[in-house]
Amino acid sequence: MNDHDERTIDDVRMRGFAHRQTVEAALTWLDAQLRPLGAEMVPLQMAAGRVLATPVVSEFDVPGFDRATMDGYAVVAETTEGATSYNRLPLMVIGDSLPGHPFDGSVAAGQAVRIMTGAPVPLGCDAVLPAEWVEDASATAATRTDVGHAGRHLTTAHCISALAAVSPGKHVGRRGEDVVRGTTLFQSGRVLRPQDLGVLSSVGVGEVRVLSQPRVRLVITGNELLPSGSQPRGYQIVDANGPMLAALVARDGGVVDFPGVVPDEHDAILNALRADTDVVIVSGGSSVGIEDLAPTLLAQHGDLAIHGIAMRPSSPTALGRVEHRLVFLLPGNPVSCLCGYDFFAGRAIRALGGRTKAWPYKALHASLARKISSPVGRLDYARVRVVDGAVEPLAVGGASVLSSTTRADGFVIVPADSEGFAPGTEVEVWLYA
Whether 399 and 331 have beta carbons less than 8 Å apart is answered as yes
Contacts of 367 (CB under 8 A, 6+ apart): 389, 390, 391, 424, 425, 426, 427
Buried b (16+ CB within 10 A) or exposed e, 289-312: eeebbbbbbbbbbbebbbbbbbbb
The sign of the torsion formed by the CA atoms of 283, 284, 287, 291 equals negative
CATH of domain 41-63+188-211: 3.90.105.10
Task: For the beta carbon of residue 287, count every other beta carbon within 10 angstroms.
Answer: 24
pLDDT tens sequence across 163-214: 999 999 999 999 999 999 999 999 999 999 999 999 999 999 999 999 999 9
Q: Which CATH class is domain 363-431?
A: mainly beta
| Residue 109 clears pLDDT 60, i.e. is over it | yes
Common-topology check for domains 23-38+213-352 and 67-173:
no
62: buried, middle or exposed (CB in 10 Å: 19+, 13-18, 0-12)?
A: middle
Taking residues 299-311, report their average pLDDT: 95
Topology of domain 23-38+213-352 in CATH is Molybdenum Cofactor Biosythetic Enzyme; Chain A (3.40.980)
Taking residues 362-388, report their average pLDDT: 94
Whether 257 and 217 have beta carbons less than 8 Å apart is answered as yes
What architecture is the 67-173 domain classified under in CATH? Beta Complex (2.170)
* pLDDT value for 297: 94
Domains of the chain by residue range: 23-38+213-352, 41-63+188-211, 67-173, 363-431
Question: What whole-number distance in Å separates Cα of residue 406 and Cα of residue 85?
Answer: 64
Question: What whole-number distance in Å separates Cα of residue 311 and Cα of residue 427?
Answer: 19
pLDDT band per the 50, 70, 90 thresholds, residue 7: very low
Taking residues 324-339, report their average pLDDT: 94
Contacts of 224 (CB under 8 A, 6+ apart): 235, 236, 237
pLDDT band per the 50, 70, 90 thresholds, residue 142: very low
Taking residues 51-76, report their average pLDDT: 97
